[in-house]
Amino acid sequence: MILAAIYPEKFEGERGLNIMKLARLPQDDMNAVNNMRLLAGGSDTKKRSTGAFSLKFDIHKKKRAARKDRTGEEETTWQLSRFYPMIEELIDKLNKGELSKDEYPCMNEPSPTFHGTSQSTPVHQVPAHSMRSRRTATWARPRNSDDGYSSDSILRHASSDFKKMGQRIFVFIVGGATRSELRVCHKLTSKLQREVILGSSSLDDPPQFITLNQM
């Protein structure tokens, strides 16, 4: 599986079939390897897609550099995943306005206030009050009271915190997202002060991904 994901060109045609037979893979695993190779796109597939009527989605795509080192961040102490998703760098570049328009074209040009909206949001200072003030008993409080401790109060304050953030960033991943990508979006919400919402056709772990490729 790992060899097919890294070197899909070695599993093309009769050569790939012989390798899988030598490894004594069952038919379901062979289907998974072939489907993973098709997802990566073989050289013969790329040659056929260069016709006059091809969509040419990858015409501006360049060879990507290796992922940046995460030294100095919290992952160096608590490593939650082995690989860091590329979505973190893409969202960070989008927030700074540095995302390449050739590789990621816009259907509509973003407004001038799209980037950095969180800094322009006014922050109202809450007046100070004594922490020794007497609290009303629970049985004597009305049902719609806000004491800061009930679940409704916590949700109300959380929604008000989101209102202070900048414009939302919606990310949709076709074909399935991972929990590492979900964790990245949660981290970037606090880091960028912009709510990052991740959507996908499914949320998969490695065993589920392989099972889907066996179909």
Q: What's the rounded Cα separation, in Å, for the pair 142 and 139? A: 8
When pLDDT is averaged across residues 170-199 and rounded to a whole number, the result is 90
Among candidate residues 43, 56, 58, the one with its CA nearest the CA of residue 8: 43
pLDDT attached to residue 138: 55
The domain locations on the chain are: 1-45, 83-108+155-215
Contacts of 44 (CB under 8 A, 6+ apart): 12
- Residue 121 has a pLDDT of 47
Which of 6-10, 124-128, 195-199 has the weakest average pLDDT? 124-128
Q: Are 172 and 202 in contact (CB under 8 A)?
A: no
Average pLDDT over residues 33-45: 67
Longest CA–CA separation in the chain, Å = 81
Query: For 41-100, what is each residue's pLDDT tens digit?
Result: 555 545 554 444 444 444 444 555 445 555 555 555 556 566 678 899 999 999 998 888
User: How would residue 141 be classed by pLDDT, with cut points 50, 70 and 90?
Assistant: low
Average pLDDT over residues 160-185: 84
pLDDT for 153: 53
Q: What is the pLDDT of residue 16?
A: 83
CATH architecture of 83-108+155-215: 3-Layer(aba) Sandwich (3.40)
Work out the number of other CB atoms within 10 angstroms of the CB of residue 130: 6
**Which pLDDT score is estimated for 65?**
47
Residue 194 pLDDT > 50: yes
Q: Could you tell me which residue, 113 or 10, shows the higher pLDDT?
A: 10
